[in-house]
């Protein structure tokens, strides 16, 4: 562990000698991260047991998610580390307040720029490290000045703005407002190359490709993979995320998501970058070693497990 608390595995041949050095067979990695999870809809203990060391919770009841995040910081809790956005920030009556899976308190209605500033201030005070905003057609949507006010307030608080963009024109609205991250790879329309190139210069996209079909052929998945392939081709940065809690997704490392990322043009090394953080304070361990050949990569990565502090490699 480095002095700043980050964990940085090193090859055995350059590891320092001493009683504090532990040696592990196989492959050590920074903790694997799922950047789109809804903690209220999954068993986080099972998620961690399935190899995910850290999650981003992108929409939930703020007090409940904050409590889980506090537990996740405690040694031996058996939970992943959690970064969270708190509630969805929505137009009055907008998505997802009309969905049965969205618990009361998991969204907050925003009508004005003043509402936007107050909401973001509350999130920052409550420990959120992200701001989640919805731009969703088919129902009430935030007016563009209000969407822009939310992004501006997030940036003033030092928090990235994550936008759920679903439906025609929503990606453009998110980009114009200055959003930092899209919660999903767009799937409802093929994004124009001019807009795609602009997004790639400034945004990160969270993948969530497997929500379309859950392993079965699906036209929306084809659109999403095409958009992501072109986004990556223009230099865009992608984060691995699954929208865990949305349908029959595996509670842990999702082999299908990894393979879809590869089909969109990511090399195994790029997938690892999409699944890890530079400042990680967690670690993942693949006892049999990681195979970087494309044919074996997803299968061996899926055997990764979160390494507990104090773990004995001989046990």
- Locus of tokens 């990160």: 204
Does the pLDDT value for residue 308 go beyond 90? no
Cis omega before residue 179 (within 30°)? no
Cβ atoms of residues 80 and 284 within 8 Å:
no
CA distance readout (Å), 164 to 70, 77, 206, 234, 313: 26, 31, 10, 22, 41
Provide the 10 A C-beta neighbour count for residue 13.
Answer: 5
State both tokens at 161: 């703005």
State both tokens at 257: 């998501």
Helices 294-301 and 268-275, interaxial angle, to 10°? 30
State both tokens at 247: 């349908």
What digits encode the pLDDT tens for the residues 94-147?
999 999 999 999 999 999 999 999 999 999 999 999 999 999 999 999 999 999
Does the pLDDT value for residue 273 go beyond 50? yes
Could you tell me the sign of the dihedral formed by the alpha carbons of 264, 265, 269, 273, in that order? Answer: negative
Output 193 or 15, whichever has higher pLDDT: 193
CA 54 – CA 57 distance, rounded (Å): 10
Mean predicted confidence (pLDDT) in 204-232: 98
Could you tell me the sign of the dihedral formed by the alpha carbons of 188, 242, 148, 273, in that order? Answer: negative
pTM over 0.85: yes
End-to-end CA distance of the chain, in Å? 21
What digits encode the pLDDT tens for the residues 67-93?
999 999 998 899 999 999 999 999 999
Provide the 10 A C-beta neighbour count for residue 87.
Answer: 25
Contacts of 187 (CB under 8 A, 6+ apart): 212, 220, 221, 223, 224, 227
Q: If you count them, how many residues does the chain have? A: 315
Provide the 10 A C-beta neighbour count for residue 89.
Answer: 30
pLDDT at site 216: 96
- Cross-strand partners of 163: 133, 182
Of 106, 111, 65, the closest CA to residue 92 belongs to 111
CA 276 – CA 31 distance, rounded (Å): 6
CA 133 – CA 314 distance, rounded (Å): 46
Q: Which residues of 139-188 form beta strands (DSSP E)?
A: 161-166, 181-182
Cβ atoms of residues 267 and 275 within 8 Å:
no
């Amino acid at each position: 562990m480095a002095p700043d608390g980050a964990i940085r595995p090193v090859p055995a041949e350059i590891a320092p000698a001493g009683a504090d050095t532990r040696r592990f067979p196989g492959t050590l990695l920074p903790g694997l991260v799922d950047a789109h999870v809804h903690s209220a809809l999954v068993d986080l203990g099972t998620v961690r047991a399935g190899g995910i060391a850290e999650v981003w919770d992108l929409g939930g009841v703020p007090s409940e998610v904050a409590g889980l995040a506090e537990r996740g910081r405690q040694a031996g809790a058996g939970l992943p580390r959690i970064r969270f956005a708190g509630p969805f920030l929505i137009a009055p009556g907008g998505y997802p307040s009309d969905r049965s899976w969205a618990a009361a308190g998991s969204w907050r209605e925003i009508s004005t720029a003043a509402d936007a500033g107050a909401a973001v201030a509350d999130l920052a005070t409550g420990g959120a490290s992200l701001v989640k905003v919805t731009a969703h057609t088919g129902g009430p949507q935030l007016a563009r000045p209000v969407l822009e006010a939310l992004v501006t307030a997030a940036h003033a608080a030092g928090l990235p703005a994550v936008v759920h963009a679903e439906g025609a024109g929503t990606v453009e609205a998110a980009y114009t407002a200055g959003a930092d991250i899209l919660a999903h790879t767009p799937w409802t329309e093929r994004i124009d190359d001019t807009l795609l190139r602009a997004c790639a210069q400034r945004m990160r996209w969270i993948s969530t490709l497997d929500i379309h079909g859950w392993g079965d052929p699906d036209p929306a998945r084809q659109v999403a993979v095409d958009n992501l392939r072109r986004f990556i081709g223009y230099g865009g940065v992608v984060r691995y995320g699954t929208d865990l809690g949305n349908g029959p997704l595996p509670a842990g490392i999702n082999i299908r998501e990894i393979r879809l990322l590869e089909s969109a043009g990511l090399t195994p090394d790029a997938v690892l970058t999409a699944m890890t953080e530079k400042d990680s304070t967690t670690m993942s361990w693949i006892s049999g070693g990681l195979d970087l050949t494309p044919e074996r990569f997803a299968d061996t990565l899926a055997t990764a497990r979160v390494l507990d502090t104090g773990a004995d490699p001989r046990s």
